[in-house]
Structure 1
Amino acid sequence: MAGTTFCEVSELYNILNQNTPLSRLPEFNYLCLIDACAKGQYNASHIITLRCHLQDSKGKFIMPAGVEVESMRNIVVYDSNSSSLQGSAMECAEALTKSNRYPVQILKGGYQRFSALNPFIRTQKILYTIKELESLRPYTVELLPDQLYLGDYNALVNVSEDTSHVLEKGNLHVNVADSVAADLYSSFERICVFIGSHFVIFILTRSISEAWEHVLQCKTNMRPNRGFVQQLYDWELHTLGRRMTDIAVPCY
């Protein structure tokens, strides 16, 4: 039995927005998201791809049809405002842990907190076809919630039809070729200054390996090219005064 654990809002947000480049939500054993709220609350509004929990005549949880718990990589349960390991979300999660090899995650803050921070990911839709799931356009993942995001040019051009509010806050364009030999190192300091001094402190206290582990938790298919890794390696020496990461290991 794998047990239960809390899942932060940003973690579920990133799970929902993984792509390769199509959304990962259609994958059979990728995510099972279960609503332990009352039926009326589920019908009114819920997170996309959600399944409503089912109960038998004795009030015991019943697994939704077609869900193979044993092979499910991410199982997340929430109620209206989960804040402790008690309540309907916990009861639902405990029923699932009996056969799942991975920990069942309980959304911290429940639906109320998630929908307040991410109102664009809620819906009243109940059933999705595979084609509909494949056509979902993922959002950029959060590296630092509400502060730092990871995306590509699509996120830049699709962020809004009105870009005036974006330009007011400033923007930084680092023009480099899409090549292993491209020089990003010379722009690292300028990038850090642009992001802000308080984030530079956060970044400077972490080695490449620690930063890489965090990025992989947010975006599971990230694979930087060797040229970029080498430049980060040099930047680590520049900022920390010593080399702390062995970039020869396979994950880099």
Structure 2
Amino acid sequence: MADLLMCEPTMLYNILNQEIKHSRLAETNYLYLLDVRSKREYNESHIITAQRMKKKDNDYVIPQSMDLECVKYCIVYDGKTNALDVNFEVREKDSDSEDDEVSYVMGSAVLCARILAEFTRHPVYILDGGYECFSAHYHFFRTQKIFSMPQLDSSQCHHSMAYHIFLSDCRQVQEASLQGTDISTEKKEDVSELDAFEPYPIEVVPGEVYLGTVKQACNPQMHKDLKIKAHVNVGLETTPYFQGDTCRLLQISVTDSPEEDLFSSFRHTSHFMDAHVERRSVILVFSTRGISRSCTVMLAYLMHRNRESLKRSWTPGPLPPPAYLTDDKTRPTGQRD
């Protein structure tokens, strides 16, 4: 039986925003995000890519198409469960509800996770605080749509998310035929939506510091959603934001080469970021692809902020080139263990 672990909202946010060449959400065995709330709540709004777990005789039913053994992340959420040993609270049934299932205010995610843990070798995560907590922090990741898997081929269309889309499409086609409407254009947009999904910057310090790419640094919607107020640009490219404002833009003009001197900029960068954090001004640190120069500067800042060594600050994620990861010479000036 796999372990049950709590998943912080920041962890799920970062899982949703991983990319290589394309968003990793399009990979069939990357993430199963399961919503165990009522059908009414799910239809009103859910987290992007989430599938609703159904019940039969008040027991959760795992779709045969769901390959739990191979999935990397399996995350379950309900309304607001925030602990593994939560006290189960049964929700009173609405008089006008057509749903006969027993619904829990808290604890249903744990019940479902225990069942899923029997079929997977990886940990099953329960979203800490559930939908209520996640949507409060990341309201822009709420949706009523069911995302498709555009990179699946025909031999893989039995996978659960594609199957879910198929059933949803059938229902909408039936409703549209009764209403005499044409949904072909709408569905073309829906089918391509996940493939066109643009990952947001990675959240390094919740609500304070983000790590991203030049493309993300030029995106006005991401700036608005994350409330970004300052940039640390570790590269030669420019963006439309904060030009000429040295209080909100720190430009470190270096190329992506191991021969470049990033060490001399660590102290100034850390103090610049400290000043904005103290003012509750959200910062985006970025370079061309967000995987070398900006990541190195971010590691230096975390060492400075947490008073930790490189080894303790370096957690799995986008990594700098090996040449940048030489011993503790990369420790910012004045840093002590």
Task: Report the TM range for the smaller structure's normalisation.
Answer: 0.7 to 0.9
TM-score, with length taken from structure 1? 0.84
Q: Distance in 2 between matches of 1:204 and 1:108?
A: 24
Q: Distance in 1 between matches of 2:304 and 2:66?
A: 40
Structure 1's 241 and 76: CA in aligned 2 closer, same or farther, altered over 3 A? Answer: closer
Shift of 1:165: 5.8
In 2, are the aligned partners of 1:142 and 1:149 still within 8 Å (CA)? yes
Counting aligned pairs with the same residue, the percent is 34
Map 1:144-183 onto structure 2 (within 5 A): 144-160=205-221, 167=242, 170-183=248-261
- Residue matched to 2:66: 67
Task: State whether structure 2 residue 313 is matched by structure 1 residue 211.
Answer: yes
Alpha-carbon separation, structure 1, partners of 2:143 and 2:202: 20
Which AA in structure 2 matches 1:74?
Answer: Y
Counterpart Cα distance in 2 of 1:108 and 1:196: 28
One-letter amino acid matched to 1:190: H
Matched, 1:46 2:46: yes
Residues in 2 aligned to 1:66 and 1:110: alpha-carbon distance in whole angstroms: 25
Matches of 1:165 and 1:145 in 2, distance apart?
15
- Which is richer in strand? 2
Aligned counterparts of 1:110 and 1:202: Cα–Cα separation in 2: 33
Residue 233 of structure 1 aligns with an amino acid whose one-letter code is D
After superposition, the Cα gap between the structure-2 partners of 1:207 and 1:84, relative to the gap in structure 1 and judged at 3 Å, is same
The 1:181/1:116 distance shift into structure 2, 3 A limit, reads same
Residue 105 of structure 1 and its aligned partner are, at CA, apart by 0.4
Partner SS, residue 25 of structure 2: coil
Residue number among 168, 185, 206 corresponding to 2:263 in the alignment? 185
Is it true that 1:111 corresponds to 2:111 in the alignment? no
Instruction: Tell me, yes or no, if the aligned pair for 1:33 and 1:49 is still in contact at 8 Å.
Output: yes
Moved more, 175-184 or 102-111: 175-184
Bigger mean CA deviation after superposition, 139-148 or 63-72: 63-72
- Relative to the length of structure 2, the TM-score reads 0.64
Whole-angstrom CA distance in 1 between matches of 2:116 and 2:16 = 20
Q: 8 Å contact 1:182–1:227 — kept in the other structure?
A: no
Tell me the SS of whatever aligns to 2:34: strand
Identify the residue that residue 8 of structure 2 maps to in structure 1: 8
How many Å separate the matches in 1 of 2:27 and 2:58? 30
Work out the CA distance in 2 between the residues paired with 1:202 and 1:106.
Answer: 32
User: Using a 3 Å threshold, how does the CA distance of structure 1 residues 74 and 118 change in structure 2: closer, same or farther?
Assistant: same
Residue equivalent to 1:84: 83
Q: Residues 35 and 12 from structure 1, CA distance in 2 versus in 1: closer, same or farther, beyond 3 angstroms?
A: same
Correspondence 1:128-143 to 2 at 5 A: 128-130=148-150, 131-143=192-204
Decide whether the 8 Å contact of 1:2 with 1:100 is kept in 2: yes
Contact 2:17/2:201, CA 8 A, preserved across alignment: yes
The Cα of 1:180 is off from its aligned counterpart by: 1.5
Task: Kindly state the Cα deviation for residue 65 of structure 1 after the two structures are TM-superposed.
Answer: 4.6
* Residue aligning to 1:123: 143
2:17–2:200 contact (8 Å) kept in structure 1: yes
1:97 is displaced (CA, Å) by 0.5
Cα distance in 2 between the residues matched to 1:68 and 1:21:
24
Q: 1:236 to 1:165 in 2, by over 3 A?
A: closer
Q: Deviations over 1:22-51 (max 9, x none)?
A: 100111111000001111000000001100
Alpha-carbon offset, residue 240 of structure 1: 4.2
Identify if the C-alpha distance between structure 1 residues 196 and 240 changes in structure 2 by more than 3 Å, giving closer, same or farther.
closer
Matched residues in 1 for 2:147 and 2:329: separation? 50
Q: Over the residues paired in the alignment, what is the CA RMSD in angstroms?
A: 2.5
Distance 1:127 1:209 in 2: 38
4+ residue stretches of structure 1 with deviation over 6 A? 161-164, 197-201
Deviation string, structure 1 residues 179-231 (Cα, Å, up to 9, x no partner) = 12111111000000001167778535111111112xx1xx3xx231233223x
Task: Give, in whole Å, the separation in 2 of the partners of 1:54 and 1:241.
Answer: 53
2:222 pairs with 1:223: no
What corresponds to 1:235 in structure 2? Answer: 330
Mapped to 2, the partners of 1:46 and 1:24 lie a distance apart of 19
Structure 1 contact 193–200 (Cα < 8 Å) conserved? no
When the two structures are aligned, how many residues end up with a matched partner? Answer: 234
Structure 2 partner of 1:247: none
Of 131-140 and 29-38, more deviation after overlay is shown by 131-140
Contact 2:55 2:61 in 1 (8 A): yes
Contact 1:51 1:64 in 2 (8 A): no
